[in-house]
């Protein structure tokens, strides 16, 4: 063979990968090597740096739906809980698979939801509460904090979460959203939680 002449490649053959080299005692690998490395996961089956695998979600199938509710403005929140539980039952969830956890106020919802996620690994969490405007805008500040906290719990733990916290300027506005003329936030939160939980169980495909 003439010196410097390229060796012909048969049709359909794959070019061999370049030899691995070492730099400073460290092995250098190619991008092709990286694509074949096994995906490491934490104890919950969640790949590090990635999203939940379908099989990790399927492991929660049969786990409970957990309703986390605030006692503050209880005449409203009890209606929200009743509507959420009724919605779960009407859509085939067994009563034994529905857990209800009460907390003192809406501000305690995120940390309680996080603890429930760690201890029960539920199919979904339904967070319910009611904040009504007083003489100061504190209700709005708490509402924003609660919404951000619950979103962080849902995303960080990859647990579907239905948001059913009413933030209203008056008791009549809140009552209208707890089974009145403006709908039922408890039912809506339960429906949203079930829908996302079903999609997570089934997995996603391109």
- Alpha-carbon Rg for the chain in angstroms: 25
* pTM exceeds 0.75: no
Residues 154-205: tens digit of each pLDDT: 999 999 999 999 999 999 999 999 999 999 999 999 999 999 999 988 887 7
Which CATH homologous superfamily contains domain 57-202? Answer: Lumazine/riboflavin synthase (3.40.50.960)
Residues 5-25: tens digit of each pLDDT: 555 555 554 455 455 555 455
């Amino acid at each position: 063979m003439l010196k410097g002449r390229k060796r012909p490649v048969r049709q359909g053959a794959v070019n061999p990968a370049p030899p691995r080299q070492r730099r400073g005692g460290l092995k250098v690998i190619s991008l092709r090597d990286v694509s074949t490395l096994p995906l490491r996961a934490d104890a919950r089956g969640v790949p590090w740096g990635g999203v939940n695998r379908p099989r990790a979600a399927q492991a929660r199938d049969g786990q409970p739906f957990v309703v986390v509710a605030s006692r503050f403005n209880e005449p409203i929140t009890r209606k929200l809980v009743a509507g959420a539980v009724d919605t779960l039952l009407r859509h085939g969830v067994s009563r034994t698979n529905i857990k209800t956890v009460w907390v003192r106020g809406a501000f305690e919802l995120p940390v309680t939801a996080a603890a429930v996620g760690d201890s029960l690994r539920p199919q979904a969490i339904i967070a319910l509460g009611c904040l009504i405007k007083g003489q100061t805008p504190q209700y709005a500040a708490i509402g924003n904090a609660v919404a951000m906290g619950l979103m962080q719990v849902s995303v960080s733990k990859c647990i579907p979460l239905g948001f059913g916290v009413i933030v209203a300027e008056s008791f009549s506005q809140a009552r209208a959203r707890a089974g009145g003329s403006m709908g039922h936030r408890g039912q809506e939160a339960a429906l949203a939680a079930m829908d996302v939980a079903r999609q997570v169980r089934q997995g996603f495909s391109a």
